[in-house]
Amino acid sequence: MPGEPILELVDISKSFGGVHALRNVDLALAPGEIHGLVGENGAGKSTLMKIIAGVHTDFGGVMRVRGRETRFRSSRDALEAGIGMVHQELSIVPSLSVAENVYLGSQPTNRAGLVDWTAMRRGARELLGRLGLDVDVETPVGALPIGVQQLVELGRVLFSGAELIILDEPTSALSPPETERLFTVLSRLRDEGRSIVFISHFLEDILRVSDVVSVFRNSRKVVTERVSPALDKGWLIERMIGAQAADLEESWTGAVPLAGPGRSPVVLEASGLSHAPAFHDLSFAVHAGEALGVYGYMGCGQVELSRALFGKLRPGGGELRIDSRPVRLGNTAQARRAGVAFVPESRRAMLFAEEPIYKNISISILETISRLWVKPDRERELATGHIRSLSIRAPGPEARLGSLSGGNQQKVALARWLTCLPRVLVLCEPTRGMDVGAKEDVVRIVRSLKEQGIGVIVLSTEPETVLAMSDRIVVMRRGRIVKEFAEGSVSKDQLLAAA
Amino acid sequence: MDATTAAASRSTFSSRAARWLAHRMRNVAPLLTLLFLVLFFTLASPSFASVGNLWNILQQVSVTAIIAVGLTFVILTAEIDLSVAAVANATGIVVAFFTLQDASVNIANVPLPGWLAIVLALASCLLLGLVTAFGVTRIGIPSFIMTLAMMQIGAGICALLVRGQIAYSVPALVTTLGSRSIMGVPWIVVVAVVALLAAHVVLTYTRFGRYVYMVGGNREAAENAGVNARMVVGAALVISALCAGVAGMLGVAYFGSAQQNEFDGYLLDAIAAVVVGGTSLFGGRGGIGNTILGLLVLGVLNNGLDHVNIDSFLKILIRGLILLTALVINVYAERLRGAAREQG
C-alpha cells in the first residue's frame, strides 16, 4: 500500500425510497494509485462516487478523508476537500473558450476587479500543457474533438486542486489515440501522488490503467484486487455477473468469423453517396438477412451517414436504392415509408420518457393501424405482445417508459420496428453504455430480425459492438470507406489497425 | 421489482396523496383557482352568481376561446404563436373590406357577395398561417421571432385596409354568428363550444392529435420514429391562424365594428387562457380540457372584478399577478412531477 488512504469508506449503505443502491460497502483509496471500478449498470458504482463527491449527502456508514471523519453537505464541500469528479456527461460550456472553461467560476481578476484575460490565458495554456494538450486556448470548446473536451474538463478539475479525481466512463466517446493520451495523463498524475478513481465498461481499459480494481454487483462490493497479469477480462466478467462467462466472452474478444454477404438479394444500395465535408463517395450494399457493420473513430462520418440513410440529411451527391428502386429521402417519414428503420445512438433521442410504453412502440406504426382515429386498445395489445416476446421487464403496456432501466428502454425502441417489418434497420451505437446482459439481448433481437430477411446496418465506434453483430464489416476513415472485411475472420486488432 | 412494491406499500397514505397531487398539479391548480374565484366573487358581490351573469361570462370569453383553441395546438407542440391577435384583427378587417359599407365610412373598399367576402377572409388568414408555417418549419426561424414578425405584418395589413377609419358592416352570416342568439343562446358561444369540442376530439382521438403530443414531448424522438415533425408543427401553426381568423370575423360582429388594434388585448388573454389552464409551455402536456379551465378562470376574473367595487386601474395589475401565479405553478408542476417520479 503506498501510504495512508486519502479517503476511506466504511460500511456505506444508501437506499432510494426503499430500494437499496448500496449495502455495506467498504472502500479505501490511496494516493498515487489508480483504482478501477467495474460492475453492471445499476450495481452501485455511480451512487458510491456521488456520495464521495458530495452529490448524495444522505447515507449510512462512515466516510473518512485523510483519517478524519467527514460528511459533505454539497459537491462544493467535496471540491474544497480536494475531491473532484468528471461526470459522464461533460459539464463544459461549449460556447466559451478553452481558457474560460478551465477557469469557469473562478476567473482571475486584476486590481480593478475585472477579469484578467492575460493571466487566464497563460494559466490555461500552462495547465493544459501539463496534460500534454497543445490547443489554442481561445477557441470555443464546442469546436474541439470530444476527447480534447474531456481533457479540458479534467484540466478544470485538476486546476481546482483536486487530490482525488473521479472519472466516470471517461473513454466511452474517445478514439484510441485520445484514450492513449488520457491514460498517459492519468499515469503522470498518479506518479505525482494523486488518487484516481476510474469507472468504465471497457474492461481492457480498466485492466490496462488501474493499479487496483474493485468489482460491484447488486449494490455490494464483491472484491477488491491488485491488478496483475493473472487478472484478465474473464475473471472480471465472472465476478461482475456472478456466472461462468466463457460463452459471453466468446462474442466480444478474439477473431470473429464473418458470414459474408450470402446470396440473398440486395435491399439497400448506396452508390457514390457524398455529403461534404462529412463523407465522400460511399458505395456499399446490404443484403436481405445480413448485418453490415460500419466501424470508424468518432468523427469519421458515420453519424452523418446514418442521418442520410434515414432522411435527416439530404446527401449532396450519389444515389440510394432500396429494393433496387432509387429513393430520395427528404424527411424521416419518407424514409420510414421507404422501409428504413432507425435507432439513434442516444435513448433520449428516440424515446418519450413521459409516455407509456405502448405509445412509444406504436408511434412508428400509427399510419398502418389507424387511418384517422387512434386505436389505443390495439396499441396496448401489440405492446403487450412485445413486452412478452422480448422479455421487457415492465409491469404492463401502460407503464411510463422513463421508469424502465436503460436496457429495457432500448428493447422498447427496437420493438417499435418489429410490428411492421422494415426493409433496412439502421442501428447507431446499439449497445453503448449497456451492461453485458442487455447487450446479449439486443444482439439476440437483431439476429432474429436478420432471420426474417431484414438488412441491418450497425454503425459504431466500439469495435466490440461491430464484431458482435456483423456478417461483414466496412471501416470508415475521414469520410471514406477504406477497408472491407467480408470473408474469413476478423479481430479487434485488425479493425483498429484499418481505421 | 419486489423491493419497489414493498416500498410503495410502506409509504403512508398522506405521502401517496401528496404524490398524486404532484402528478395532477397541472389540472388541480387551475380548478382550485376557479373554485376559489367563484366562491370569492359570490360572497363579495350579490350580482355575481346568477344565470344571466353566467351567460355573460361565456359570451365574454368566446372570442378568446376560439383563438385559444388554435393556440393550444401550437403550445402543445412546444412552439408559440404571437401573431394570433394580429391575424384575428386582419381577418376581421378583410371581411369588412369586402362588404358594402355605409356611405359615411370613407374606405376604398371592394363590395362583394357575403359568401365571397368570408371565403376571401378565410383565405387570407390561411395564407398568413402558411407563411408562418413556412418560415418556422422550412426556413427554420424560431416561432417566437417568426410570429412576432407576422404580428407586425398582420397589423400592417389592418392599417393599409382601413387607413384609420372604422368599418361597421360585415356579411349577414358573420353578423348572425357573432352577435345574434338562437333560443337564448348566443351563437358565438355555440361556435366557441363547437370549436373546443372539435379540437378536443382531434387532439385526443386522432393520429394527428397523437403526433402533436409526441412532437411536443420530444421532437427529436418523434423525428427518429419516422414522424414528419415539421409537418405537424406547420399544421398546428396553420390551425392557429385559421382559428384566429374565425375569431376575428366573429369578433368584429360581436364588437359591432372593424378597426385597427381592436384585438390587442386578445394575444395576452389567449396565451393566458392556455397556460393558466395548465398546458405546459414546454410542450406535450395539457390539452383542451386545460384550456377550458383557463378560459373560465380568466372569464370569471374579468367579469367578477366588474361586480366588486374595486379601483378599475387596479384590475390590470391583479390580472398580471394572477397570470404570474399561473406561470409559477406551470413551472412548478413540471418540477413536482419530476420529484414525485424520482421518489418512485
Task: Tell me if B4 and A335 make a contact (CB, 8 A cut-off).
Answer: no
Decide if B66 contacts B246 (C-beta within 8 A). yes
Task: Tell me if A359 and B214 make a contact (CB, 8 A cut-off).
Answer: yes
Higher pLDDT among residues A296 and B120, named by residue: B120
Q: Which residues, in sequence order, are bridge partners of residue A64? A: A8, A69
Query: Which cell goes with A255?
Result: 477473431
> For residues B274 and B195, what is the distance between their CA atoms, to the nearest angstrom?
15
- Residues 6 or more apart whose CB falls under 8 angstroms from that of A7 comprise A28, A29, A52, A63, A64, A65, A66, A83, A164, A195
Nearest-neighbour CA in chain B from A197: distance (Å): 27
Residue B5: per-residue pLDDT: 46
Contacts of A351 in chain B (CB under 8 A): 218, 221
Neighbours of A132 (CB within 10 A): 12
DSSP-assigned letter for residue B102: P
Task: Tell me if A353 and B218 make a contact (CB, 8 A cut-off).
Answer: yes
pLDDT score of A80 more than 70: yes
DSSP-assigned letter for residue A299: T
Question: How is chain B split into domains, by residue range?
Answer: 62-263+279-284
Decide if A119 contacts A113 (C-beta within 8 A). no
The per-residue pLDDT for range A113-150, each reduced to its tens digit, is 788 888 888 888 888 887 777 788 888 888 887 777 88
- Residues 6 or more apart whose CB falls under 8 angstroms from that of B17 comprise none
Confidence of residue A466 (pLDDT cuts 50, 70, 90): confident
Q: Give the closest residue to B283 by CA, choosing from B196, B214, B209, B201.
A: B214
Decide if B174 contacts B166 (C-beta within 8 A). no
Q: Give the closest residue to A336 by CA, choosing from A316, A303, A307, A365.
A: A365
- One-letter amino acid at B66 equals I
Decide if B70 contacts B147 (C-beta within 8 A). no
Query: Which cell goes with A25?
Result: 460497502
Decide if A101 contacts A95 (C-beta within 8 A). no
Contacts of B4 in chain A (CB under 8 A): 17-19
Of A337, A349, A374, the CB nearest to B224: A349
> For residues B297 and B316, what is the distance between their CA atoms, to the nearest angstrom?
15
Helix and strand element counts for chain B (H, E): 14, 2
Closest-CA residue in chain A for B221? A350
> For residues B188 and B176, what is the distance between their CA atoms, to the nearest angstrom?
9
Beta strands in A135-194 (DSSP E): 164-168
The per-residue pLDDT for range A414-441, each reduced to its tens digit, is 888 888 888 999 998 887 767 777 788 8
> For residues B328 and B30, what is the distance between their CA atoms, to the nearest angstrom?
12
Residue B342: per-residue pLDDT: 53
Residue A53 at interface with chain B, using a CB cutoff of 8 Å: no
Sheet holding A68-69, edge to edge: A19-29, A7-16, A60-65, A68-69
Contacts of B228 in chain A (CB under 8 A): 331-334
DSSP A42-59: TSSHHHHHHHHTTS----
Residue A42: per-residue pLDDT: 66
Average pLDDT over residues A84-98: 81
The architecture that CATH gives domain A256-498 is 3-Layer(aba) Sandwich (3.40)
Decide if A79 contacts A156 (C-beta within 8 A). no
pLDDT score of A250 more than 60: no
Contacts of B219 in chain A (CB under 8 A): none
Confidence of residue A251 (pLDDT cuts 50, 70, 90): very low
Contacts of B222 in chain A (CB under 8 A): 363
What average pLDDT does the structure give for chain A? Answer: 83
Task: Tell me if B210 and A344 make a contact (CB, 8 A cut-off).
Answer: no
> For residues A476 and A280, what is the distance between their CA atoms, to the nearest angstrom?
10
Best mutation target, B2, B224, B335, to test chain A (most A CBs within 10 A): B224
Task: Tell me if B285 and A331 make a contact (CB, 8 A cut-off).
Answer: no
The architecture that CATH gives domain A7-250 is 3-Layer(aba) Sandwich (3.40)
Predicted-complex ipTM score: 0.82
Task: Tell me if A342 and B231 make a contact (CB, 8 A cut-off).
Answer: no
- With an 8 Å Cβ cutoff, the interface of chain B facing chain A consists of 1, 3-4, 6-8, 10-11, 205-207, 209-211, 213-214, 217-218, 220-231, 284-285, 341-344
Series of mean pLDDT values for 10-residue runs along chain B (344 residues):
46 66 74 89 89 92 96 96 95 91 78 90 96 95 96 94 85 87 91 97 95 94 93 97 96 90 91 90 90 93 86 83 78 70 50
Residue B208: per-residue pLDDT: 95
Task: Tell me if A370 and B207 make a contact (CB, 8 A cut-off).
Answer: yes
